[in-house]
Amino acid sequence: MKKEKTSHSTYRIENNKKAFLSGLRDGFPIALGYFAVSFSLGIAARQAGLSAFQGFLASLLNNASAGEYAAFVLISANAPYFEVAVITLITNARYFLMGCALSQRLSPETPLRHRLLLGYDLADEIFGITIAKRGYINPYYTYGAVTIAAPCWATGTSLGIIAGNLLPSRAVSALSVALYGMFLSVIIPPARKNKILAGLVALSFAISLASSILPLISDLQNGTRTIILTVVISSAAALCFPIKEEIAEEEKGEK
Partner 1 sequence: MSNNIYIYIGIMAAVTYAIRVLPLTLIRRKIKNTFLKSFLFYVPYVTLSVMTFPAIIEATQSPVAGAAALIIGIVLAFFGANLFIVAAACCTTVLLLELFLS
Burial letters 19-28, b for 16+ CB under 10 A, else e? bbebbbebbe
- Asked if residue 96 binds partner 1 (CB under 8 A), the reply is yes
CB atoms within 10 A of CB 44: 22
For residues 82 and 133, give the distance between their C-alpha atoms in angstroms, rounded to a whole number.
38
Selected binder of partner 1 within 49, 214, 221, 253 (CB under 8 A): 49
- Shorter beta-carbon distance to partner 1: residue 1 or 213: 213
- Asked if residue 151 binds partner 1 (CB under 8 A), the reply is no
Number of residues in contact with partner 1 under rule CB under 8 A: 108
- Asked if residue 161 binds partner 1 (CB under 8 A), the reply is no
215 in Cβ contact with 229 (< 8 Å): no
Stretch that binds partner 1, among 2-10, 11-19, 158-166, 194-202 (CB under 8 A): 194-202
- Shorter beta-carbon distance to partner 1: residue 1 or 77: 77
Cα-Cα-Cα-Cα dihedral of 249, 123, 223, 185, to 10°?
Answer: -60
Selected binder of partner 1 within 63, 138, 155, 158 (CB under 8 A): 63
- Asked if residue 124 binds partner 1 (CB under 8 A), the reply is yes
Selected binder of partner 1 within 102, 148, 152, 154 (CB under 8 A): 102
- Asked if residue 217 binds partner 1 (CB under 8 A), the reply is no
- Asked if residue 143 binds partner 1 (CB under 8 A), the reply is no
DSSP class of residue 219 equals: G
For residues 125 and 180, give the distance between their C-alpha atoms in angstroms, rounded to a whole number.
11
- Asked if residue 180 binds partner 1 (CB under 8 A), the reply is yes
Give min distance, CB of 2 to partner 1, in A: 31
- Asked if residue 251 binds partner 1 (CB under 8 A), the reply is yes
For residues 53 and 50, give the distance between their C-alpha atoms in angstroms, rounded to a whole number.
8
Selected binder of partner 1 within 18, 189, 220, 224 (CB under 8 A): 189
35 CB contacts (<8 Å, ≥6 apart)?
152, 153, 155, 156
For residues 105 and 249, give the distance between their C-alpha atoms in angstroms, rounded to a whole number.
9
- Asked if residue 9 binds partner 1 (CB under 8 A), the reply is no
